[in-house]
Amino acid sequence: MSVSDEQLIAKSVQYSAGGFIENFEHEYGASLLSVESLNGLTFKNLKDSVVLHKVGGGALPFKVGAWEQTREVRGSLVSIGVYKKYR
């Protein structure tokens, strides 16, 4: 299923709030990661698409290892980014 970055962001909020992270990964083929700190952030062993929720808001890194950010929604309480793996 081809899903836009905006749809991934919207559905990630819905699934995260409901506590159904595993279902999100199965249905959309993307990993969902929620962190409070960016220190030591790595996407190793995650899928080629990753949706990152940064609790506390603020800026997100453009690149994490081999993953590059394709979309970001920045907020004061939560920031959300979509990352795609580039080889």
- Given a cut of 90, is residue 2 above it in pLDDT? no
Q: Helix count (H) and strand count (E) of the chain? A: 2, 5
pTM of the model: 0.93
- Given a cut of 80, is residue 71 above it in pLDDT? yes
**Helix (H), strand (E) at residue 26:** helix 21-28
Confidence of residue 1 (pLDDT cuts 50, 70, 90): low
CA-nearest of 11, 10, 71, 61 to 35 is 61
CA distance linking residue 27 with residue 62, whole number of Å: 25
Please give the average per-residue pLDDT across 31-48, as a whole number.
Answer: 96
